[in-house]
Amino acid sequence: MSGRRIATRVSQLNGEGALAVFARAKELERQGRSVIHLELGEPDFHPAAPVVDSLRNAVASGRDRYCATRGIPALRQEITRYLARTRKLSIQPEQVLVAPGCKMALSLAMMALIEPGDEVLYPDPGFPIYPSCTRGLGGKAVPFFLIEKNKFQPDLDEIASKITGKTTVIIFNSPNNPTGTVFDDRALEGIAALAIKHDLWVLTDEIYARILFNGDYKSISLLPGMAERTVIIDGFSKSFAMTGWRLGYAVAPVHVIDAMDLLVLNTFTCAAEFTQVAAIEALRDTTNAVDAMVNEYKLRRDLFVQSLAKIPGFRCYSPEGAFYAWVNIEDTGLPAEEVQESL
Ligand code: PLP
C-alpha cells in the first residue's frame, strides 16, 4: 500500500444492513430460487402513467440541461401547494430545495447544520444513515431508544437526559423506518418543547408521511415556534414509487436553504430537470395513485401481521405507517442472524 490515504471521515461511516441482505437475496435469485424480499424499502409499484408520460415529453422537448441549483421554480411552487394540501403547511418556494433523493437532501441538511464535536440525537432503531452521516461530519451520534414496552414512542425523559451543552440537532422519522410508529401528539409536543428550551434544530424525515393507515399527518413544524428551527426532509421515492428517479427535497428556513444551495453548487450542481418536470405531475396525482397504493399496503400489513401472529415465537405491533414491520423474534430463542439466514 502507498502512503496516500483515504480521509478518516470515511472510516466513520457505516453501511446499511438491509443492502447486505438484499445482495444475498439477489444471489439466491440468480441460483434460481424464488425470493420474497423483506429487506429494502422499495415499493413494488411504479409511478402512475401520467408521470411517466410527462417524463417522456420532458426529455423529448429538451428539458435535459443544467438547471437551477435549488430546483426548478415550477416544482418548488408545486411542492408548496402539495404540502399545503396534504400537511397544512404554509411555506414559500424560497424555503424549498430539490435534491437527487431524500438521502441527498438529508446529507445536505446535515452538512449545513452539524459542526465537528456537535452531539446529534437520533432514533434507534432508525434509518442507519443518521448516525453514520453524523459521525462522518465529526459529530457525536447519541441514540434515543424506541422500545416495544413504549409501543416504540420516544421516551421524552430519556431524550431530555441526553441533551448536553453540545447537542445541536435532534433527528427523527415518523412514520418510523423500521418500526412503522407514527409519533403521537405527546411525543411531537415533547420534542418541540425540548428543542425550544435547548435551542436545537429538528430534522424531521417525513418521507413516509403519505403512507399512513389512519388519520392525517402532523408535522412537528406546525407546532408554535417550530418552523424556524425545523428542516423537513421528504421525497418521491416512497409516496410516488419513484425510488430510482432519485428525487427528494428539503423544506427549511431560507438561510438554511441558502447554505444547502451552496453545497449543491459545490457537489452535484442540480437534480435532473426532466425528473423534476415529471415530479410536478406526480404531486398533482390526477389518478389518485397514492391512495390506491396505500390501500394495498394496508391490506398487506393486515395480512402480514395477522399471519405472523400464528407463527410461534414471532410477534409485532401493527405498523401505523410506512411499509415496514418490526418483528420481535425473542421467543424463538434464536439469534437474529440465524433467523435472517433461514428466511
Ligand atoms: N429516509 C428514510 C427514513 C428512508 O427509509 C429512506 C429509504 O429507505 C430514505 C430516507 C432515502 O430516500 P431516497 O431513496 O429518496 O434517497
pLDDT single digits (tens) 217-259: 999 999 999 999 999 999 999 999 999 999 999 999 999 999 9
Q: Kindly report the CA angle at 270 between 266 and 271, in degrees rounded to 5? A: 135
Strands 167-173 vs 201-205: parallel, antiparallel or unpaired: parallel
Residue (of 313, 323, 304, 109) closest to 210 by Cα position = 323
DSSP 3-state of 202: strand
225 phi-psi bin (left φ>0, alpha ψ -120 to 50, beta other): left
Grid coordinates belonging to 180: 412503522
CA 320 from chain centre, in angstroms, equals: 16
**Residues 176/139, Cβ–Cβ less than 8 Å:** no
pLDDT tens-digit series, residues 269-314? 999 999 999 999 999 999 999 999 999 999 999 999 999 999 999 9
The confidence score (pLDDT) of residue 19 equals: 83
Say how far apart CA 327 and CA 268 lie, in whole Å: 38
The confidence score (pLDDT) of residue 286 equals: 97
Task: For ligand 1, pick from 207, 208, 234, 245 the residue to mutate: most ligand atoms within 8 Å of CB.
Answer: 207
Say how far apart CA 129 and CA 134 lie, in whole Å: 8
Say how far apart CA 207 and CA 205 lie, in whole Å: 6
Q: Kindly report the CA angle at 53 between 47 and 55, in degrees rounded to 5? A: 80
Q: What is the largest CA-CA distance in the chain?
A: 60
Is the Cβ atom of 252 under 6 angstroms away from ligand 1? Answer: no
Which atom of ligand 1 is least distant from the CA of 102?
15
pLDDT higher than threshold 80 for residue 60: yes
Confidence (pTM): 0.96
pLDDT tens-digit series, residues 105-158? 999 999 999 999 999 999 999 999 999 999 999 999 999 999 999 999 999 999
What does 22-39 look like in DSSP terms, one character per residue? HHHHHHHHHTT------S
Residue (of 326, 294, 276, 271) closest to 103 by Cα position = 271
Is the Cβ atom of 207 under 6 angstroms away from ligand 1? Answer: yes
Sheet holding 96-99, edge to edge: 96-99, 248-251, 230-235, 201-205, 167-173, 119-124, 140-145
Mean pLDDT over 7-30 rounds to: 90
Would you give the end-to-end CA distance of the chain in angstroms? 40
pLDDT higher than threshold 70 for residue 1: no
Is the Cβ atom of 321 under 6 angstroms away from ligand 1? Answer: no
The confidence score (pLDDT) of residue 43 equals: 83
pLDDT higher than threshold 90 for residue 2: no
Any idea how long the chain is? Answer: 343
Grid coordinates belonging to 179: 418500526
Q: At what angle do helices 73-87 and 273-284 cross, to 10 degrees?
A: 30
pLDDT tens-digit series, residues 201-214? 999 999 999 999 99
pLDDT higher than threshold 80 for residue 25: yes
Q: What residues form DSSP beta bridges with 53?
A: none
Is the Cβ atom of 243 under 6 angstroms away from ligand 1? Answer: yes
**Residues 170/195, Cβ–Cβ less than 8 Å:** yes
The confidence score (pLDDT) of residue 38 equals: 84
Residue (of 133, 94, 259, 113) closest to 199 by Cα position = 113
Which atom of ligand 1 is least distant from the CA of 18?
8
- HSE at residue 52, side-chain half, CA atoms within 13 A, is 9
Grid coordinates belonging to 173: 422519522
Judge residue 28's burial from the number of C-beta atoms within 10 Å of its C-beta, 0-12 exposed, 13-18 middle, 19 or more buried.
exposed
The confidence score (pLDDT) of residue 15 equals: 82
Which atom of ligand 1 is least distant from the CA of 236?
15
pLDDT higher than threshold 90 for residue 41: no
What percentage of the chain carries pLDDT values higher than 90? 91
